[in-house]
Amino acid sequence: MSSATTTLESRGKVQLSQRRRTWRRFARHKGALIGIGFIILLIVVALTCQWIAPYDPNKTNLKLRGHGPSWEHWFGNDDIGRDILSRIMYGARVALLVGICSTTIAVSIGVLVGSMAGYFGGWVDFTLSRLIDTLMAFPILALLLTLSAVLGPSLRNVIIIVGVTFWASYARVIRAEVLSLRERDYVLAAQASGASDRRIILQHIVPNAIGPVIILASLAVGGVIIFESALSFLGMGISRPTPSWGTMLSDGRDHIRNYPHIAIFPGLAIAFTVLAFNLIGDGLRDALDPRERS
Amino acid sequence: MLAYLIKRLLQGALVLFLVTFFTFTVMYFMPGDPARTMVGQARVTEEQLDLIREKWHLNDGFFERYWSWISNLATGDLGISIMRPGQPISGMIGNAAWYTLQLTTLSMLISLLIAIPVGVLAATKRNSFLDYASTLGSTLGVAIPNYWIGIMAIVFFSVKLGWLPPYGADSWRAYILPVLVLSIEEMAAVMRLIRGTTIEVLGQDYVKTAQAKGLRRNTILSRHVFRNAMLPVITLIGYRMAFILSGTIVIETVFSWPGLGQLFFDAITNKDLQVVQAIVLLLTCIVVLMNIVTDMMYAVIDPRVRVR
Amino acid sequence: MALSSPICHARQRTAITIRVFPEEDDYVMNEFERQSELQKIFATSIDRRSALKAAAAAGLIPVLGSGMLASRAAAQDATPKQGGTLVILGQDSIESLSPEDTGETVQWVAACNVFEGLYMVNEQYELEPVLADSYEPSEDGLTYTFKLKSDVTFHNGDSFTSADVLYTYNWIMDEANASTRLSNFDLVASVEAPDDTTVVVTLTNADVTFMINVATVFIYPAAYHAEIGENDFKVKPVGTGPFKFGEMNPQQRVRLDAWENYYRGRANLDSFQVDVVPEAAGRMSALETGQADNSMWGLNAEDNTTLKDSGNFTVYETKQVATNHFPLNNKHPFLQEKEVRQALIWALDRQAFADDVFLGQATVATSNLSPAVEAFYNPDVALYEYNPDKAKELLDGAGWVEGGDGVREKDGVKAAFTMMVFQGDTQRRPEAEVAQQWWKDIGVDCTLQEGVTSEILGGLRAGEYDAGLFNWVYGGGSGDPDSRDTLVTGGANNFFQYSNAEVDELMLNGIKEQDTEKRVAMYKRIQEIIADEVPFVFLLNLMNVSFFNKRVKGLPESVLNADNLYPKAYQFWIDEEA
């Protein structure tokens, strides 16, 4: 018992200094810092947009149909005269909510399923692995569309749908990590000392397998945001009038010839946000996984 | 090897079953009345709707309907489409799949043709202009939604310049925009991966040994580096096949491309259970087979990998 | 798909006034003048037959001569050339070419070149003989006797006879077939075919709309249709029209090929093609570059202006008879009150929509009839000029007071409802989004939801949905204001569960009334009632702007209904040098 505890304590120290080194490596990655900066800015905008947005994002003004960028309206107005800048600001809420919440749901499910499959093995592994295979074999957007058609489009449903369909790849990664961790000394020691499976999984396995998942997840947030925008673009995502970048893009597509700015700005918003999350993901990978450092 | 293959095929069959069963369940509980969708704008009474439901077994219970779907499938009968009752589903899907296949294979080819050499070169000439440009390009390529690029491409090349047709799948010129737009994301992903793995392989001992032996750079590249760097790419390609439809649904919509993606979307909105089932079945088959083939290729390319 | 699979104006092909054929000299007369002249005559004459006589007396109806139709259009241009493909753009996939599914305009555009009825309503809103040579109504208006053409064959070689008409009409009337055209035949008692070229239709009630509703229905080839069944027929259509089925890929295109043995002579075009392009920018660009000749689907108001200014197109601007509207469920706990519905319409700045979104290519609707139906249109009804204060007043007065969340309520019922919008209907959805905001300002909560067209129409008919957004014809298809399937209690297309005893009586008596002056008064009264009770929120009457590339020749000088030009494609020809 006591030997196991000391091992853990010493591991904790190692982790601490490792964490410091990791941060230093991350901080060296300029792209990642820019990414972090952009996302923080975006979060601030999303939290404060009811005060800082110049206009009500749903306020229509037909007189301003398709007006281009101006001093009063920096990003111009859409086809029914709504202020595009304000809508982009409110749209950041949707993008971040979906991106972060869905990814969190997906990672949680993935970690749970993956670690169970890897740790218990046997029929549990077989069953869960087939479940993972099944989900991985599904064309993801097709699955999203089907589920969205069944549940009906709304912000909450989109978050849930994306969350419960995206976990398979995390589960697979975790499972592989756990398979190798399962044979490690400290796990064997914990098992020998009679710790419960739940305790071992949560205290020993998951913390050590989480690194690759964090990398995957940070890279996935961008993908989730793109999927949400595609879903909304196809009319099966966020219900109107809630401003979503995908919905705004789809509004703009009919007027792309006469008023291209209606589609350009939400497109740029999506691109920058996804780019920022990807840069953070790259930085994390370099920091957490020195093998792939470039 | 054979035993392994059989085991994989059996697992695949199980996955196939689960996927179709799941789709069936979801579609079965989809709100809305397929009978009403079928009559379209016809003004019909409840009794007439009941007749239709009766005829199409829409009133049958869940297991009854699922069993009839399975048993029909066993005889090669995919059922009748609600939205296009006069057309055999196999023909409908075959036609659409052909267009999607062209689109995806062409874009996959183009992205590989560009991404592989650029990725390898970027890895060998680290910190060169090419390296930075390709890194930037692949970072952007993954971040920008491809349907947005598609729309912008239509506006620029079709509307403003009038060079390329904005829609259709008839002439080779009509293929240019959708194929290129679809290949961007693929290209970015492959380039990134190739660069990473090449760098990794270049640092391996056997490459260093080969260099020490004085082997020519090109020989090292082709004999050791390229071969090993290709492994993850093959996995990626196999994996991407699962995304065939995901990638094309939106692009097909933007370019009015008569492929599987549009067919799937139509089927979903029309609650056409039979067509959705058939498409999901086809795609899952492709994914399962691709996964098996990928693993086999792995074994062929890298003798170190021995199948269990 | 198409992704954007909007069906727009769920169209209703009702129309017309009189059987008229101008001789070539008459043709120089301004079509609008002539048409309104005819409408006036029709509106003041006792019945259809005396209307004919009156019109003949006024020199408006020469005797029909065969071959006159073909020569009329051809006379304007040089000698027609053979060959070429006419490319029409559609917005939605073409799932079927059966006459059963012509409710969706994009499918109709193709089907109307494959099939023909005994008569047709042409682009001037005239009734024109097609498979029939003539018809003779009985004095009491209860029997119609048609003389059919004898030299017509179907695309599969079968000859066209009265048996085909008999088969078609009976097939539609057989309830088991759930035909989309069943309600057109609700007054038909029997159909008989005394010989190969004669068909006699007997009605249970005199119906002044009979020729429009029944005689224009497309005819099936009896033997072939009976053999392969309706489902297969949808994709293997055989008709008597100028073009026969070529190829069909629902999401891509339908191609029809000229039929060599067409009884009016082979079409000038080799092929008639409908390309499916859901993307608005794609359609516009295809028109600009000449990849396509015409779009059956309306463009953005801005694009209309651009194409008009380019000078490369023959342009037809016509008033639509359909009303752009929000149908409301009059049984809904909130919407059931007249004051509420009136408040909803007071809160909308419809003029701004017409001016700023449609750039003046629309007018504010006043009731169920469009001003295009001049003879019956009633401008003197309750008008609702934008006035949100008035709306709030009405709601306050009716006891709907604001709750904590800014939404009004009364007796625990929220002032809220859900509006269904056709999936991908990017052209009209903005109207709902704007209305949503205007209604929010008066404390009414409207939720938007997208759905499939058939689902929405069916749900509204069954009273399952609260509200919708589309265009529909509420009478006056072009001459006759009858609309008894929409506004009458229990009508098949009564999307609002609307019931008003006076409207019921006026509508049912309207088709029997022989005195046209009285008739006009009756339908004007209906408009008054509808304007007052607001069973649906009438928004706009839109202009229909249709473009044909200048290389398309054989087009008329002007039209009253550009949609009805498509069956005339066999007269068109393509001049590559133009």
Residue A55, φ and ψ in degrees, nearest 5: -140, 165
- What value does the mean pLDDT take over residues B214-225? 74
Residue B82 lies in a domain: no
Residue C505 lies in a domain: yes
Residue C420 lies in a domain: yes
Check which CATH number belongs to the domain holding C457 and give it.
Answer: 3.10.105.10
Digit-coded pLDDT (tens) for B171-187: 888 899 999 999 998 88
Quick one: how far is CA C118 from the chain centroid?
19
- What value does the mean pLDDT take over residues A81-105? 94
* Highest mean predicted confidence (pLDDT) among A37-46, A185-194, B1-10, C24-33: A37-46
ipTM for this model = 0.83
What are the structure tokens assigned to C161, written together? 């006879």
Cβ count near B217 (within 10 Å): 11
Whole-number Å distance between alpha carbons of C374 and C363: 14
Digit-coded pLDDT (tens) for C449-470: 888 777 888 889 888 999 999 9
Whole-number Å distance between alpha carbons of C196 and C161: 5
**What's the domain count of chain B?**
2
Handedness of CA A222, A228, A229, A230 (dihedral sign): positive
Rg for chain C, CA atoms, rounded = 24
Nearest-by-Cβ selection for C430 from A80, A152, A253: A80
More confident residue, C394 or C183: C394
For residue B304, the model assigns a pLDDT of 58
Structural contact between residues A152 and A94, judged by C-beta atoms closer than 8 angstroms: no
Residues B64 and B94 occupy one common structural domain: no
Query: Which pLDDT band holds residue B301 (cuts at 50, 70, 90)?
Result: low
For residue A16, the model assigns a pLDDT of 57
Residues of A in contact with C436 (CB under 8 A): 240-241
Digit-coded pLDDT (tens) for B139-171: 888 889 988 999 889 888 888 888 888 887 778
B245 and chain A in contact, CB less than 8 A: yes
Digit-coded pLDDT (tens) for C203-215: 998 877 788 778 8
Ramachandran area for residue B214 (φ above 0: left; ψ -120 to 50: alpha; else beta): left
More confident residue, A56 or B301: A56
Nearest-by-Cβ selection for C448 from A63, A240, A256: A240
Cβ separation C426–A251 shorter than 8 A: yes
Residues B157 and B231 occupy one common structural domain: yes
What are the structure tokens assigned to C134, written together? 């003539």
Composition of chain C by helix, strand, coil, percent to 5: 30, 20, 45
Query: Which pLDDT band holds residue C254 (cuts at 50, 70, 90)?
Result: very high
CATH code for residues A3-58+73-292 = 1.10.3720.10
Residues of C in contact with A157 (CB under 8 A): none
Nearest-by-Cβ selection for C458 from B36, B95, B155: B36
CA nearest to A78 within chain C: C430
Residues of B in contact with A220 (CB under 8 A): none
Digit-coded pLDDT (tens) for C316-339: 998 888 899 999 999 999 999 999
Whole-number Å distance between alpha carbons of B239 and C222: 53
Cβ separation B253–C493 shorter than 8 A: no
For residue B174, the model assigns a pLDDT of 87
Q: Are strands C536-549 and C552-553 parallel, antiparallel or unpaired?
A: unpaired
B268 and chain C in contact, CB less than 8 A: no
Digit-coded pLDDT (tens) for B17-26: 888 888 888 8
Which residue shows structure tokens 């590339």?
C549
* Statement: residue C22 has pLDDT above 70: no
- What value does the mean pLDDT take over residues B52-75? 83
Residues B145 and B56 occupy one common structural domain: no
Q: What are residue C445's DSSP bridge partners?
A: C416
Percent of chain B having pLDDT more than 90?
5
Cβ separation B166–C453 shorter than 8 A: no
Which of C300, C348, C422, C469 has the highest number of chain A CBs within 10 A, making it the mutation to test binding with A?
A: C300
Give the residue ranges of DSSP H helices in C63-184.
68-74, 105-111, 162-173
More confident residue, C532 or B82: C532
CA nearest to A147 within chain B: B26
- What value does the mean pLDDT take over residues C18-32? 33
Query: By three-state DSSP, how is residue C538 classified?
Result: strand
Check which CATH number belongs to the domain holding B151 and give it.
Answer: 1.10.3720.10
Q: Are strands C445-451 and C416-422 parallel, antiparallel or unpaired?
A: parallel
Mean pLDDT (chain C) is: 83
Query: Which pLDDT band holds residue C259 (cuts at 50, 70, 90)?
Result: very high
Residues B224 and B293 occupy one common structural domain: yes
Which of B151, B191, B260 has the highest number of chain A CBs within 10 A, making it the mutation to test binding with A?
A: B151
Residues B176 and B274 occupy one common structural domain: yes
Digit-coded pLDDT (tens) for C118-166: 998 888 878 889 999 999 988 888 999 999 999 999 999 999 999 999 9
Cβ separation B80–C231 shorter than 8 A: yes
* Statement: residue C68 has pLDDT above 60: no
Which of B34, B49, B74 is at the close of a domain?
B74
Shortest CA gap A242–chain C (Å): 11
Mean pLDDT (chain B) is: 82
Domain locations in chain A as residue ranges: 3-58+73-292
Residue B14 lies in a domain: yes
Which range of residues forms the domain containing residue B44? 2-74
Name every residue in A having a CB less than 8 A away from some CB of C. 58-60, 62-63, 65-66, 79-81, 152-153, 234-235, 239-241, 250-251, 253-258
Residue B141 lies in a domain: yes
For residue A18, the model assigns a pLDDT of 67
Which range of residues forms the domain containing residue C535? 323-543
Residue B79 lies in a domain: no
Residue B84 lies in a domain: no
Nearest-by-Cβ selection for C233 from B33, B86, B253: B86
Q: What is the dihedral of CA C217, C221, C223, C229, to 10 degrees?
A: -70
Cβ count near B289 (within 10 Å): 15
Nearest-by-Cβ selection for C279 from B33, B36, B167: B167
Residue B219, φ and ψ in degrees, nearest 5: -65, -45
Query: Which pLDDT band holds residue A37 (cuts at 50, 70, 90)?
Result: very high
> Strand order in C143-148's β-sheet?
C132-137, C143-148, C198-203, C188-195
CA nearest to B285 within chain A: A137
Digit-coded pLDDT (tens) for A224-256: 898 889 888 888 888 888 899 999 998 888 888
Residues of B in contact with C101 (CB under 8 A): 40
Least confident of A197-201, B226-230, C437-441: B226-230
**What's the domain count of chain C?**
1
Least confident of A179-183, B229-233, C303-307, C378-382: B229-233
What are the structure tokens assigned to C509, written together? 């008596």
Digit-coded pLDDT (tens) for C188-198: 999 999 999 99
Which of C434, C441, C447 has the highest number of chain A CBs within 10 A, making it the mutation to test binding with A?
A: C434
Shortest CA gap B123–chain A (Å): 10
Quick one: how far is CA A105 from the chain centroid?
9
Least confident of A57-66, B58-67, B207-216: B207-216
Residue C63 lies in a domain: no
Whole-number Å distance between alpha carbons of B77 and A153: 33
Residues of C in contact with A241 (CB under 8 A): 433, 436-437, 448
Q: What is the dihedral of CA C110, C111, C113, C119, to 10 degrees?
A: -140
For residue A210, the model assigns a pLDDT of 74
